[in-house]
Structure 1
Amino acid sequence: MLKITNTSVTAPPPHLSPSSSSTTTTTQKNLLNHINRRHLLAALSFSISTSHLSIPVADARGLFQMPPPRLTNQYYLVRAGESEFESLGIINTNPVAKTSVDSGLSEKGKKQIVKAALQLKEMGACDTGCWIWPSITQRAYQTAEIIASVNRISRSYIVPEYSFLDARGLGAYEGKNLEAVSEVYASDTISPRNKPPPIDDGTPNESVADVFVRVTQLMSILETQYSEETIIIVSPDSDNLTILQAGLVGLDLRRHRDLSFAPGEVRFVDISSIPAYKQPASAVYKCRNPPICN
């Protein structure tokens, strides 16, 4: 801390008149006060500028990156059960119809999710409470309701997600047979930036990289909004989850299909490694800049 000392004031010379002496003394006192105030302000400024150095600063989370060095929360990934469209073998990814009853769970899909909900219960996912984040897509939201009911979680802990978890838009493949999606995945293995052919009915044609941006934004929100919580992410399709998990573990995005989710499948997020039963048989691709590797 700076030490403030008074500056002595010299008496006026004897040849000065009393009035001149008085004026000079007043001027010197004003100057002294000004000097003291400047020293005081300087001392205070120095004290304020250095005082924060002794105060612990909380660790900043910063921007969310893939793969992340750590996760603040625990995550479970759940693919919605089979939908009515899937039971008919039809590709349905147009977001216009995502809240339609026709996009809901089939009877088989409902059974798949009851099983998934019981599996989450056995895993203790919601033993100390959990948040369920489903896509607003009908089949995903129905999935969330069943999970909440079986695990005795209040509906107030279901947080519908309106865009980041939409099913991957497959463009011109909309309405085609489900088997045609294999052509999309073949294209994905060439480059994560390849898009399905476009269509003019409002269905997006999204590349793997497009979906990667969406799910990264979702994780950024979750990691910012919650801390030390358990979150169950419910997606209407597999691609959101495979691309998300590939990003989290640093897997080449061209290989996201190797992490495929079956309808109703539950998976705990473990960023330390790729599940052995899903790992590629050979390390053909070496990713030098995960998850963008080409």
Structure 2
Amino acid sequence: MLRTTTSTNATSMPPQVSSSSSSSSSSTTTLRNPHASFKPVNRRHLLTALTLSVSVASSTVHAAGARGLFQMPPVRLTNRYYLVRAGESEFETLGIINTNPVAKTSVDSGLSEIGKKQTVKAAFQLKALGACDRGCWIWPSITQRAYQAAEIIASVNGISRSYIVPEYSFLDARGLGAFEGKKLETISEVYASDGISPTIKPPPIDDGTPNESVADVFVRVTQLMSILETQYSEDTVIIVSPDSDNLTILQAGLVGLDLRRHRDLSFAPGEVRFVDTSSIPTYKQPASAVYKCLNPPNCN
């Protein structure tokens, strides 16, 4: 414990400042350490040292943050990526839109019987492609159907469950706001708005379902890629999404497609796609040959 050098009683007193130091450019406080001899502490030197420490710490954090920066479209990718949409869910079987994250771990958000078969097919397709021949990491949304799909993929490809890394928010199904609970056909209205501007949000609702624009999802998937490109190097990563929009918006960003046209890259339930940043799959080419966007999502 540090105590003042002078004390008239047993009560600890505030540090004493020498009156002679008041005329100098910096004041000196003398502290007593019970394990050392008297040693003056210069406040100016102390402040300088603290400032330097903060500066070094700040620059370190800045450098670390810079390492995780990820821009769309990327110059190159450090890892190999496969994009997988989970098979059909129970809600999709019923023809109902379900995007509220509150229910994402519910059994009702799991794979339907058809969805399980679609996912098994996807798992064997990945095996045929040799996706996990040299090992792989599987990154599914924590949403029930996506995580179930990840377990099926791991089983078919002989991958330990310890290589499944659940993603808790960046891969949530796109929140469709007031469309929650409506029939799946009504989602065409959302895509009509997407085609006008990537910043248009679905109407809001008060049940906790987010209403996300294409630009909102673009931020999420860019953050995900930033993490993956920072955390791994020369690895294979299988991204498993509960819906199509996460994947279409991600792939549009990677290949430089105008985000208003992300729907052109739609994924069917259980579809697998290897990420090739140099091109769009032939069978998904937009009707127009002009599709490049040099600064997504600002393609207006």
Q: Where on the TM-score scale, by shorter chain, does this alignment land: which range? A: 0.7 to 0.9
Aligned to 1:108: 114
Separation (CA, whole Å) in 2 of partners of 1:149 and 1:286: 38
> Residue 93 of structure 2 aligns with which residue?
87
Offset of 1:282 from its aligned partner? 1.5
**What TM-score, normalized by structure 1, do the two folds share?**
0.78
The letter for the 1-side match of 2:216 is D
Out of 151, 161, 164, which is 2:157 matched to?
A: 151
Residue 246 of structure 1 contacts residue 291 of structure 1 at CA under 8 Å; is this kept in 2? no
1:64 aligned to 2:58?
A: no
Q: Which residue type is aligned with residue 288 of structure 2?
A: S
2:167 is matched with 161
- Mapped to 2, the partners of 1:233 and 1:134 lie a distance apart of 6
The separation in 1 between residues aligned to 2:245 and 2:151, in whole angstroms, is 22
Query: Residues 285 and 143 of structure 1: is their aligned pair in 2 closer, same or farther, counting only changes over 3 Å?
Result: closer
Cα 1:64–1:182, aligned 2, differ >3 Å: closer, same or farther?
Answer: same
How many residues are aligned here? Answer: 235
Question: In the TM superposition, what is the alpha-carbon distance from 1:209 to its structure 2 partner?
Answer: 0.1
Distance in 2, matches of 1:287 and 1:79, equals: 24
Larger radius of gyration: 1
Which of 184, 192, 197 is equivalent to 1:186? 192
Provide the secondary structure at the position in 1 that maps to 2:173.
coil
Instruction: Give the Cα–Cα distance (whole angstroms) in 2 for the partners of residues 280 and 114 of structure 1.
Output: 29
Matching residue of 1:13: none
CA contact (8 A) 2:256 2:292 kept: no
Give the secondary structure class of the aligned counterpart of 1:117: helix
In structure 1, the residue matched to 2:211 is: 205
SS of the aligned residue for 1:234 comes to strand
Asked if 2 retains the 8 angstrom alpha-carbon contact of 1:76 and 1:233, the reply is yes
| Structure 1 residue 236 corresponds to structure 2 residue 226 | no
Q: Which position in structure 2 is the counterpart of 1:31? A: none
Q: With structure 2 as the length reference, what TM-score do the two structures score?
A: 0.77
Residues 1:258 and 2:272 are matched in the alignment = no
Q: Which segments of 5 or more consecutive residues in structure 1 lack a partner in the other structure?
A: 1-59
Cα distance change of structure 1 residues 106 and 230 upon mapping to structure 2, 3 Å threshold: same
RMSD of aligned residue pairs (Cα, Å): 1.2
2:281 aligned with 1:275: yes
How is 1:109-128 mapped onto 2 (pairs within 5 angstroms)?
A: 109-128=115-134
- Whichever residue aligns with residue 258 of structure 1, its letter is D
**Identical positions, percent:** 90
Measured in 2, the distance between the counterparts of 1:63 and 1:286 equals 22
